[in-house]
Structure 1
Amino acid sequence: MSRQTMFPEGSVKFGITPAGWVNDDFPDIDIGIPFEQIVSEMALAGFCGCSRGHKYPSDPAVLKPELDMRGLQMSEPWVSTYFTIKDMYQKTLENFDKEIEFIQAMKSGDMVLAELGCSSHQQPIALVPNAPNFSDEQWKNLANGLNDLGHKANQKGITMCYHHHMGTGVMNMDQIARLAEMTDPNLVNLCLDTGHLHFAGGDNLEFIRLYGDRIRHVHLKNIRQEVMEYCLAHQLSFKESILRGVFTVPGDPAGCLDFEAIFQALVEKDYSGWLIVEAEQDPAKAKPLLYAQMARQYLREITGL
């Protein structure tokens, strides 16, 4: 297939998260850009989808018309699970059920989730040294819980994808392998986050080779290699790493990831679904619209879409 049509027409959709405009993990990373401007700039940059952020209206009856008028679909809500800590199973299921209702009301979107029990990523502490190492019992509880949620999602016709994440107990390739082995592939799909995987020492092409048949959602996050190495060497927190500029968008010359090779590997696995640009950056330093346009133009150049 030629470079101009890397993915078959209609097989993928390009979206973006609001993380470049305002941060959901750290709401104080915010220069006051309102919801209406965020989603307008997403559309202006050429994206057809977006994930939900904390500045968005919570009522789908309000949110959907705002997205519709800008030609945007909801690509995913985020769901945090807490199966590895005490007395949170029922609460996790209740939160999941609410997000299923949200997706159904929005009439689009995959379910993207991650286990945040004992996670270091939202804490003001060294990110990697303090990430949890789950016990055998915690792994069993996590796998059983995810299989239960996957069954719920399947019953509603919703694609549920697990997101490996820095600072969590499913961060590196060994942990991802254990999760993949312990969960039912018919119930628990995977979300590839290119930046989180590289940050954790993983290889994106190897991930796609191993789990391509389970990848149903992709976050396109680029990494500034020198910044990443500094953050790891100095044991910075996740927030400190973001503010230092560890993440950027595809197409930024400062980034180190080869997205053309990543896309080609996905094509070879017949990937179809959302490709979501995500780069947690300080909007005071990295103008959100500029970086969104940079990413979309780059994606258009290498995929022809």
Structure 2
Amino acid sequence: MTQALDRIRVGSAPDSWGVWFRDDPHQVPWERFLDEVAEAGYSWIELGPYGYLPTDPARLADEVAARDLRVSAGTVFTSLHHGPAVWDATWEHVGQVAALTRAVGGRHLVVIPSFWRDDKTAELLEPRELTAEQWAHLTKGMERLGHEVKETYGLDIVVHPHADTHIDTEDHVERFLDSTDSDLVNLCLDTGHYAYCGGDSVKLIETYGERIGYLHLKQVDPTVLADVVENEMPFGPAVQRGVMCEPPTGVPDLEPVLAAAQRLGVDLFAIVEQDMYPCEPDKPLPIAVRTRAFLRSCGA
């Protein structure tokens, strides 16, 4: 008998509709995303890139409510390993997203570190490994961000390990968690990105359960991933190759991940994100419907 995952709140995001940018001719209009995410059976959404959905809080609240949806989080990219020099610019951007997130009822801010190589061209933007000083800037900066976001906007930040960033592999994720205060910073565990970088999501949940503040659900195609790793392909082209695939066809198996999350005994968002930029406009909805049915079969 499938376990009832009553602590898991399932949602989806613009990413599952091929949306990576605030404005791009390859992306579906925001109205279509909202219509289809509701049609697919999801109750919760993320805001996606700032400016893709309306940024006027009243209008956004009306559009979301009209489709019986609610907002779980906003998302920001940061480069805090560069130290205090980037704080003011970071805070200006974070403030925009956090204010909108709070205004429409969201409680989390997903924080993604900046890329060390160009997402499209593979050009090396900076070294893959941080220096000790940069690690200190990163961890202290994230703690400061967590404190300021909580104090100013009442939101919790959850840091998202991501392919081609400095928080990616098991070693990097554990170093980051061991170097930060759980009262200020916790993790958005993206099952697909963690598998992409060789990590075991169930192990991470069981080892660092108190630090898991949020989930992104996705899977990788192991055959495509092997080719991506062998050819040192950057993340953007890897996505175009189909490295992130429709569940339950890839890894990790999501049922044990969700069961491990349920055992933590706390309420957690689990937001579906199947990276597939760019994609044909008619592709996302059928996948979203099947994915929601699959997650229901897991008890979520």
Task: Tell me the TM-score normalized by structure 1.
Answer: 0.90
CA contact (8 A) 1:249 1:278 kept: no
Alpha-carbon distance in 2 for matches of 1:109, 1:243 = 32
Alpha-carbon distance in 2 for matches of 1:64, 1:169 = 35
Cα RMSD (Å) of the superposition?
Answer: 2.2
Q: Which residue of 1 aligns with 2:108?
A: 110
* CA shift digits 1:76-123 (9 cap, x unpaired): 11111121226212211222222221122112241100221x522524
The one-letter code sitting in structure 1 at the alignment partner of 2:227 is: Y
Is it true that 1:238 corresponds to 2:235 in the alignment? yes
Alpha-carbon distance in 1 for matches of 2:156, 2:174 = 20
Structure 1 residue 192 displacement after superposition: 0.5
CA contact (8 A) 1:172 1:200 kept: yes
Q: Which of structure 1's runs of 4+ aligned residues deviate more than 4 A?
A: 25-28
Q: Which residue of 2 aligns with 1:302?
A: 298
Task: Tell me the TM-score normalized by structure 2.
Answer: 0.91
Q: Which moved more, 1:183-192 or 1:118-127?
A: 118-127
The number of aligned residues is 295
Is it true that 1:58 corresponds to 2:55 in the alignment? yes
Alpha-carbon distance in 2 for matches of 1:274, 1:217 = 5
Structure 1 residue 26 displacement after superposition: 9.7
CA contact (8 A) 1:121 1:168 kept: no
Alpha-carbon distance in 1 for matches of 2:106, 2:112 = 20
Q: Which runs of 5+ in 2 are unaligned?
A: none
Identical-residue share of aligned pairs (%)? 29
Inter-CA distance 109–40: structure 2 relative to 1 (3 Å threshold): farther
CA contact (8 A) 2:107 2:154 kept: no
Alpha-carbon distance in 2 for matches of 1:165, 1:27 = 22
CA contact (8 A) 2:8 2:270 kept: yes
Alpha-carbon distance in 1 for matches of 2:94, 2:59 = 21
Q: Which residue of 1 aligns with 2:285?
A: 289
Q: Which residue of 2 aligns with 1:174?
A: 171
The one-letter code sitting in structure 2 at the alignment partner of 1:19 is: D
Is it true that 1:36 corresponds to 2:31 in the alignment? yes
Alpha-carbon distance in 1 for matches of 2:291, 2:197 = 23
Q: Which runs of 5+ in 1 are unaligned?
A: none
Structure 1 residue 199 displacement after superposition: 0.4
Alpha-carbon distance in 2 for matches of 1:199, 1:286 = 27
CA contact (8 A) 2:18 2:284 kept: no
CA contact (8 A) 2:195 2:251 kept: no
CA contact (8 A) 2:8 2:269 kept: yes
Alpha-carbon distance in 2 for matches of 1:188, 1:39 = 30
* CA shift digits 1:117-155 (9 cap, x unpaired): x5225241179x976211111111111111111112332
1:270 alignment partner, SS class: coil
Structure 1 residue 235 displacement after superposition: 1.6
CA contact (8 A) 1:19 1:278 kept: yes
* CA shift digits 1:176-231 (9 cap, x unpaired): 11111111011101110000000001111111112111111100011111011111
